[in-house]
């Protein structure tokens, strides 16, 4: 069985500046209710799908293709979406499968080389801000790399994407109580690790 890659966190600037305006998508669907739903999902959640694929290990040069592939699957199966269910959960489940297929077919697995900020546009921060951001998100990446896949995905969706627990449960197929437990314990572990990092950093500067 292929090993899933570790999730890839984004800096706040990268997240804010992931393509917010979806590029034009030439679909052949008619102007029916399913087509209208697809248009809304594409316009509303394009950036979420793009970020999710990046964090799931899709290589930067294939990120646009993988995003379009995800929405092609969405278009083919749009009538399967249940009204009232979580849109982001449904889209993430599809993006997760597309990312796995993409890595398997292209052989592009993520390496532990840190953040690749060139894959997403971002404004140029001041030098001091750039250093602080790089250090903080290097820590986040290291922390996430040490989590097993279920906890890593729960942390990614809950903390980085701010999805509520019921949506995480639906996206990952996990019991809701498991999601709550993993969110709580992973947050506690993150805060403990962050405090240790701050103490270590203060000692080294002193």
Query: Does residue 49 contact residue 157 with C-beta atoms inside 8 Å?
Result: no
Can you tell me which residue has the tokens 């269910």? Answer: 85
Residue 126 pLDDT grade (very low, low, confident, very high; cuts 50, 70, 90):
low
> Does 160 score more than 60 pLDDT?
yes
What is d(CA 156, CA 72) in angstroms, rounded to the nearest whole number?
A: 24
- Inter-helix orientation angle 165-172/176-205, to 10°: 110
47-73: per-residue pLDDT in tens? 999 999 988 888 777 889 999 999 999
Alpha helices (runs of H) in the chain, residue ranges in sequence order:
12-17, 33-55, 63-76, 87-106, 127-145, 149-155, 165-172, 176-205
Residue 121 domain-assigned (yes or no): no
Span 141-155, average pLDDT: 91
Residue 5 domain-assigned (yes or no): no
User: Residue 69: which domain range?
Assistant: 12-114+126-205
Residue 7 domain-assigned (yes or no): no
Residue 119 domain-assigned (yes or no): no
Residue 4 domain-assigned (yes or no): no
Span 29-53, average pLDDT: 84
What is d(CA 118, CA 152) in angstroms, rounded to the nearest whole number?
A: 23
Residue 109 domain-assigned (yes or no): yes
Residue 120 domain-assigned (yes or no): no
- Could you tell me which of 143, 174, 166 has the C-alpha nearest to residue 156? 143
Number of domain units in the chain: 1
Residue 6 domain-assigned (yes or no): no
Least confident of 32-46, 89-103, 108-122: 108-122
């Amino acid at each position: 069985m292929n090993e899933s890659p570790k999730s890839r966190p984004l800096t706040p600037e990268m997240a804010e500046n992931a393509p917010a305006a979806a590029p034009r998508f030439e679909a052949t669907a008619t102007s029916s209710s399913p087509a209208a739903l697809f248009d809304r999902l594409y316009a509303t959640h394009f950036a979420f799908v793009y970020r999710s694929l990046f964090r799931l290990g899709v290589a930067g040069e294939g990120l646009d293709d993988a995003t379009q592939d995800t929405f092609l699957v969405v278009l083919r199966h749009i009538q399967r979406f249940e009204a009232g269910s979580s849109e982001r959960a449904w889209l993430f489940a599809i993006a997760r499968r597309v990312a796995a297929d993409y890595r398997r077919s292209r052989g592009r697995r993520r390496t532990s080389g840190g953040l690749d900020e060139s894959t997403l546009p971002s404004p140029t921060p001041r030098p001091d801000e750039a250093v602080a951001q790089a250090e903080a998100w290097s820590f986040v990446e290291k922390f996430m790399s040490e989590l097993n896949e279920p906890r890593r995905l729960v942390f990614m969706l809950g903390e980085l994407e701010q999805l509520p627990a019921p949506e995480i449960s639906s996206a990952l197929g996990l019991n809701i109580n498991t999601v709550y437990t993993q969110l709580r314990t992973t947050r506690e572990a993150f805060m403990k690790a962050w405090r240790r990092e701050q103490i270590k950093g203060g000692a080294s500067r002193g």
